[in-house]
Amino acid sequence: MIAVHRFLRSPEGLAGAGLLLIFAILALSAPFFFPRDPLSIAGPALIGPFQDWSLPLGTDRLGRDVLAGILHGARTSLTVGIAAAAAAIAFGAIVGTLAGFAGGLMDEALMRITEAFQTVPGFLLALAFVSVVGPSLAAVVIAIALAAWTGPARVARAEVLSIRERDYVASARVAGMHPLAIAFREVLPNALPPVLALSSVIVAQAILIEAALSFLGLGDPNRVTWGGMIAEGRAVLRSAPYLSIFPGIALVLTVLGVYLAGEATVEASAVRKGIA
């Protein structure tokens, strides 16, 4: 409760939470405001912003509504960001816990695999994966998780190494619990807080990677994405720069919101620990 209070009192927490809340509401309300397919033609091509109030942000080269695109794009960005981060953290935490708890050969093997993944730049890995599997929302999520799971794995392992020596783990052993049950029911929940602190960075990273993949034409072609919109606008960058600028602003604000909220969360929980 104190942590929540502190979070809301810090300016970055308030700004971040506000931005995220706005985008979450926009994403959720997109089907109500724009029930039609955002990829369908809504009016004449290349109407500038603030000229026709039925199309407030204008239309693109094919006459598609830019505002509808941005709202529906928020759905894609947030879904991919959160799903990829959740997958990366879940997978990383499991690998890290197994490595740290088992120790020995298992630890060596898992950590070498983790390092192998770390040596490949994350974006290239995602790019390679999507170009092999084919562009779809699930493929993009898996590709991003593949690039981001190593951080949580290393943090979880480091935490588990200290937790496995605690008395309550010895007490679980003495109680005759199965080692896997000890690892996932006793050790993992206690190792989670520092791993979760990584989540905001991973979500922000995931949103950017998704945008970059879409920009390169590797996003799900049946969905509107901000990266895809920016790429579309590139052809008419001189005559209609707003086509790239609006989705660009949406992208910047979302990532900024995630970062600020994440930063404030870590700060607030650190203060709480300082008091206890």
Partner 1 sequence: MRKLAIRGLGVTYRRDAEEITALTGVDLDLEDGERLAIIGESGSGKSTLARAICGLLPAGTQIVGSIDWPSLRRAPVNGRDVGYVFQDPSASLDPVMTIGKQIAEVARTHRGATWQQSFALAEELAGRVRLPDPASILKAFPHQLSGGQKQRIAIAAAIAGKPGLLIADEATSALDTIVQAEIMALVKQLVAEDGMSLLFISHDIALASQIADRIAVFRDGRLIEVGPAESLLTAPRTPYTRLLLDAHLGLDTTKPWHSGGGAASARAGPP
132 vs 174, beta carbon nearer partner 1 = 174
Does 170 bind partner 1 (CB under 8 A)? Our answer is yes
18 vs 194, beta carbon nearer partner 1 = 194
Binding-site member from 18, 43, 56, 103 for partner 1 (CB under 8 A)? 103
Binding-site member from 5, 9, 36, 173 for partner 1 (CB under 8 A)? 173
- Binding to partner 1 by CB under 8 A, coded x per residue (else -) over 190-219, reads x-----------------------------
Does 185 bind partner 1 (CB under 8 A)? Our answer is yes
- Binding to partner 1 by CB under 8 A, coded x per residue (else -) over 23-62, reads ----------------------------------------
DSSP track, 2-49: HHHHHHHHSHHHHHHHHHHHHHHHHHHHHHHH--S-TTS--SSTTPPT
CB of 13: closest distance to partner 1 in angstroms?
Answer: 25
CB of 222: closest distance to partner 1 in angstroms?
Answer: 42
Binding-site member from 60, 159, 186, 232 for partner 1 (CB under 8 A)? 186
Taking only Cα atoms into account, the Rg of the chain, rounded to an integer number of angstroms, comes to: 22
CB of 259: closest distance to partner 1 in angstroms?
Answer: 28
CB of 192: closest distance to partner 1 in angstroms?
Answer: 9
Query: Which residues are at the interface with partner 1 (CB under 8 A)?
Result: 103-104, 166-168, 170-178, 185-186, 189-190
